[in-house]
A and B are shown apart, each in its own frame.
Chain A
Amino acid sequence: MPSQTFARRAPLRLSSVLIYLMLIAGGLVMVIPFVWMIATSLKPAKEVFLGYFFPLAPTLENYALVLNKVPFARWYLNSLVVATCTTLSVAFFDSLTGFVLAKYEFPGKNVIFVFILSTLMVPTEMLVIPWFILSNNLNWVDSYWGIMFPGVITAFGTFLMKQFMEGVPSELLDAARMDGVSEFGLFWRIALPLVKPALAALCIFTFLGNWNAFLWPVIITEKMDMRTVPVGLSFFSGEAGSSWELIMAGASMATVPVLIVFLFFQRQIIKGIALTGLKG
């Protein structure tokens, strides 16, 4: 018996070394572009085309140059305001709608549910033209509301929250009703705390999705000061020519804070993705 387990362990070890080698190789491919981005951003302009991977005389002057040239701080504020407000709105309205569709009986319920779901089939690209015409007529161009309005309630989030609201026991709600809790109180004080994990996942994805959004923000913003980080970065990079050290400084500023947030929440984010199978 012991000899048999020994015989099995030896090849196993070799294969597990191989597994880790391949995992590390894959990990390097994932990380090196980011290292390259940061390394380039720290190089003085004259070092960029020398061909060393790491800077010889690292400097932060590229960051100062970018911050002087373009209102990066303002873009950050814009992205933060837009992503935060959208996330709060989605969290509230998607879970309220999900709650109603899961826990109430009323005429037209199925029609309403199918109607909301069916809007999922229409790609955003088809809607940006009508949204732009609408925004143009209502003077929403270059406003926070203009950037946000298409995403303040989502069909996917509604569907997701409905699934989780189904799990809230109806007896609990009825008991609370007996105690005189209002209908809104049932949602806010009883149901919502019970679906917190799903709600957290929805919030994280909504925030990330809006933070990184490009197609609609690039259409609805025209003034430099109203751009979000991705839109500002795209225009800045397009105009920076071959000043790769500046472009990489901009890309680092757009990326690194998100990476830090990700490192904090990575467990929840990954669990949430696996749980809901949704796309950030």
Chain B
Amino acid sequence: MALRSRGLTLGQRRAMWAYIFLLVPLTFFITIRFAPTLFAMSVSLFRWDILSPNKPWLGLKNYEALFADPVFWKSLSNTLMYVALSVPAQLVIGLFFALLLQAAAHWRGFFRALYFVPFVTSTVAISWVWRWIYQPAFGPLNKLLALLGLPEQRFLASPDQALASIVVTLVWQGLGFYVIIFLAGLEAIPADFYEAAKIDGARTWDLFRHITLPLLNPTIVFLTVIGTINGIQVFTQVLNMSFQGMGGPLDSTKSLVLFIYQEGFKSFKMGYAAAGTVILFALILVITIIQLRVTTRRVEY
């Protein structure tokens, strides 16, 4: 006892313990998170082929090549399309079902769990189930269309419909998360607000427009940011729902992350792929900052 505390005050001894406890976690964050971030940036400045021993310095040439690559631009615009289509759809449909659930007196837990099931199941399995659902000719969706007297659709096999078809799957799988977060937001609104407004003669729509929506704003901001960041990183669905995981037909579904994956781990152009990840990083950073700016301004009523 006397030996251990020699020369150390109580506060110093506690600080020492804090450092000891943080030793492993800090080592982890420095070596596995922080250093690789810098390393990725530096790899993007080389021609880095994992198989070849020499890795010549390229400066910004990888970035120049990236900006001259039509497939990069196509995958970037596809990625923005995924976000632009899936986030608003999830917000609107999610809020709709959250409002329905809140109005339902019975079976709320049951339905909530039901809507949440796709969110916890394997994205790979779900992608293949939907791929089967979308099959031309034999798929159940086309069978349904035929039953209704509608023409057959090519869905994932059509360059015009494939991206939207994947978005439907994204929305379907993510919906439960939106419903639960919206429901939590709705339950946090004090019932007195509605009572007071009703006494003033407000109608249902007015209540929604002037109480529910403004008070849900933090929830909407949170879900928009989360949804956008997840949308920018869409990968597993695209790889599993396109033929041979190529992001086709005709690159019409290829997302930025799939592009990076193919360049880095199929063509082994690590430097080129790393440049793509730096762009992805910048994109996420910029969108997060813009969204936080825009949406926090709106909160101040």
Contact = CB atoms under 8 A, between A and B. Distances in A.
A130 B39 contact: yes
Instruction: Classify the secondary structure of B's interface with A.
Output: helix
Contacts of B39: 130, 133
A237 B277 contact: no
Interface string B124-143: 11101110110100101001
B278 A215 contact: no
Contacts of A115: 29, 34
B120 A208 contact: yes
Interface in A239-280: 244, 247-248, 250-252, 254-255, 258-259, 262-263, 266-267, 269-270, 273-274, 277, 279-280
B124 A230 contact: yes
A244 B132 contact: yes
Interface in B235-294: 235-236, 239-240, 244-245, 257, 260-261, 264-265, 270, 273-274, 277-278, 280-281, 284-285, 288
Contact of A134 (B33, B36, B37, B172): B36
A136 B29 contact: no
Given A126-B278, A150-B32, A215 B236 contact: yes
A2 interface: no
B101 A23 contact: yes
A201 interface: no
B21 A97 contact: yes
B108 to A, nearest CB: 9
Interface string A91-129: 001001101100011110100100110010111111111
B56 to A, nearest CB: 16
A126 B280 contact: yes
Interface stretch (B59-67, B68-76, B175-183): B175-183
A7 interface: no
Nearest to B232: A123
B236 A259 contact: no
Interface string A205-216: 000100110110
Contacts of A153: 24-25, 28-29
Interface string B1-26: 00000000001001101110110111
Contact of A30 (B36, B114, B140, B273): B114
B14 A104 contact: yes
Interface residues of A, number: 92
Contacts of A238: 244-245
A6 to B, nearest CB: 18
B296 interface: no
Given A100-B21, A233-B125, A33 B120 contact: no
Contacts of A119: 29, 33-34, 37
Interface string B89-130: 000000001001101110101011111111111111110111
B123 A129 contact: no
B168 to A, nearest CB: 10
**Sorted from nearest, which 5 A-B pairs have the closest CB atoms?**
A130-B36, A106-B15, A274-B184, A104-B18, A126-B277
Interface of A: 15-16, 19-20, 22-23, 26-27, 29-31, 33-34, 36-37, 40, 48-49, 51, 53, 93, 96-97, 99-100, 104-107, 109, 112, 115-116, 119, 121-134, 136, 149-150, 152-153, 155, 158, 183-184, 187, 208, 211-212, 214-215, 219, 229-231, 233-234, 237-238, 244, 247-248, 250-252, 254-255, 258-259, 262-263, 266-267, 269-270, 273-274, 277, 279-280
